Chain A
Amino acid sequence: MTVSSDDKLAVEVTDLKRSFHGKLALNGIDLKIPRGTIQGLVGLNGAGKTTLIRHLIGSLKAEKGQVKVLGQNPAQDPESVLKQVGYMTEEDSLPKWMRVGELIDFCRVIYPTWDDSYAKELAEMFSLSRQTKLKGLSKGQRARAGLLVAIAHRPLLLVLDEPSSGLDPIARSDILEAVIRTISDDGRTVLFSSHLLDEVDRVCDHISLLHDGKILATLRPEDRDNQMQELTYQAALSWQPPIDTDRCFGWRRSGLEWSVVLVQRDDTSTPIFPEATLIERGPVSLQRWFEARVSRKSSISVHESVANGAS
């Protein structure tokens, strides 16, 4: 393996564009995932998350722009990239006619780095028996089988596309544990795409918000503690909030109270509005930021774009 500057990056996507039937699905994506980190990907349905991920695993070729995974172009040489990647998706895509044991045997042939003892440990931990047909497993157990074959070759990059949707809390917890374990093993990297914002917030180093085929912002969970506040104002019924700015956006009304997300680095400059009284300051949850950011009208992002350590 050659050593180069992008050895520090597990994934490097530059100005990636893609359209389906004349409609832009990805509109200039730039994404850098440093090795050894957990990258979260959030966004509404149809934002382009799965399309982006399919470029990373080589099942879609970049129309415009560049995709590099572990230093290689996955569309050019999918086999050599995929050997080092673990992939799990929401769709129940495992061959249901197989038995658990057959699935494991099949995968250990594909992946040169397959770790038999780790696979055995996972099977025991998940109570998966080799004899059971995948068809006969519950949805949660089938997801565990999918997780087993996604991580038992100790991939350098683990890609999870909505792995937890529709699963029970214990199965979801098993997936999260696998995510944490994967990066605890030095140098391994995880891309975690999910609608479950609490889970993303718990495990990720960086979170990128994908909207209309663009990455609107990337931030670290602690950036919200350090640089953002939710302000609540009280105002007369006729009051209208000002238009969104980069610093102050996502006005939401409840009766006579309005709340807004404020991006700031010190306490000196709380916005003051005549006829509106500040009544509360609080932390900004990922959910609140997500909603505010998606609804924000202006498109320039100054404050948040620096948060990605890969810049």
Chain B
Amino acid sequence: MQINIQSDGLPIYQQIANQIRYRIAARNLKPGDEVPSIRSLAESLRVNPNTVARAYRELETEGMLEKRRTKGTYVAEQDHQQSIRQRARQLEPHLDTLIMYAVQLGLSLDHVTEQLRERIEVLEKRRTKNKEDLA
């Protein structure tokens, strides 16, 4: 798994957890997929294995990942994952950032929701195009 660690900003375990979340959200990692072992991910990222373990633990608590008896860690089935409310709570800090910028740029709430809708369409189109290019 190609994860990028930046040395300033978020704690490293959060950077790892976020990038795995993103992959699950973008369906690059699907329910049932195995994620790398703690040890091999730590070696390839050159970070302390406890840091990777901490990221995995957080994702397990959220129900995104699950440990299996055969010792691997896997992406959990959707219904094991958190409730909508729990997931929504994780979005809050990002919304705060969005609101901060919107206020600073003097954009109204209506404008921001409209822009959000347009943006989703752009991303959807891009994703379909990527798929066609691959096919």
State the A residues within 8 Å of B (CB): 38, 173, 176-177, 179-181, 183-184, 198, 201-205, 221-222, 225, 283, 285
In whole Å, how far is B69's beta carbon from the nearest beta carbon of chain A? 21
Q: How many A-B residue pairs have CB under 8 A?
A: 46
Distance between Cα atoms of A294 and B94 in the complex (Å): 35
Contact among B9, B10, B13, B42 with A180 in the assembled complex (CB-CB below 8 Å): B42
Q: Is there a chain A Cβ closer than 8 Å to B39's Cβ?
A: yes
Q: Is the CB of B46 within 8 A of A176?
A: yes
In whole Å, how far is B121's beta carbon from the nearest beta carbon of chain A? 34
Instruction: Kindly list 10 other residue pairs between chains A and B, CB separation below 8 angstroms, not including A201-B12, A222-B11.
Output: A176-B46, A180-B43, A184-B39, A184-B42, A198-B7, A202-B46, A203-B48, A222-B54, A283-B10, A283-B11
Task: Give the nearest-CB partner of A172 in chain B.
Answer: B46
- Taking CB atoms, residues of chain B closer than 8 Å to A202 are 5, 7, 12, 46-48, 51
- Taking CB atoms, residues of chain B closer than 8 Å to A225 are 11
State the B residues within 8 Å of A (CB): 5, 7-13, 39, 42-43, 46-51, 54
Distance between Cα atoms of A221 and B13 in the complex (Å): 11
Contact among A177, A180, A285 with B48 in the assembled complex (CB-CB below 8 Å): A180
Distance between Cα atoms of A181 and B49 in the complex (Å): 10
Distance between Cα atoms of A184 and B10 in the complex (Å): 25
When A and B form their complex, which 7 residue pairs have the shortest distance between CB atoms, in order from nearest?
A: A176-B46, A198-B7, A225-B11, A202-B47, A184-B39, A180-B43, A203-B48
Known: A201-B7, A283-B11. A177 touches B47 (CB 8 A): no
In whole Å, how far is B97's beta carbon from the nearest beta carbon of chain A? 13
Task: Give the nearest-CB partner of A183 in chain B.
Answer: B49
Distance between Cα atoms of A179 and B45 in the complex (Å): 12
Task: Give the nearest-CB partner of A225 in chain B.
Answer: B11
Distance between Cα atoms of A179 and B5 in the complex (Å): 17
Distance between Cα atoms of A176 and B10 in the complex (Å): 21
Task: Give the nearest-CB partner of B38 in chain A.
Answer: A184
- Taking CB atoms, residues of chain B closer than 8 Å to A201 are 7, 12
Distance between Cα atoms of A205 and B47 in the complex (Å): 10
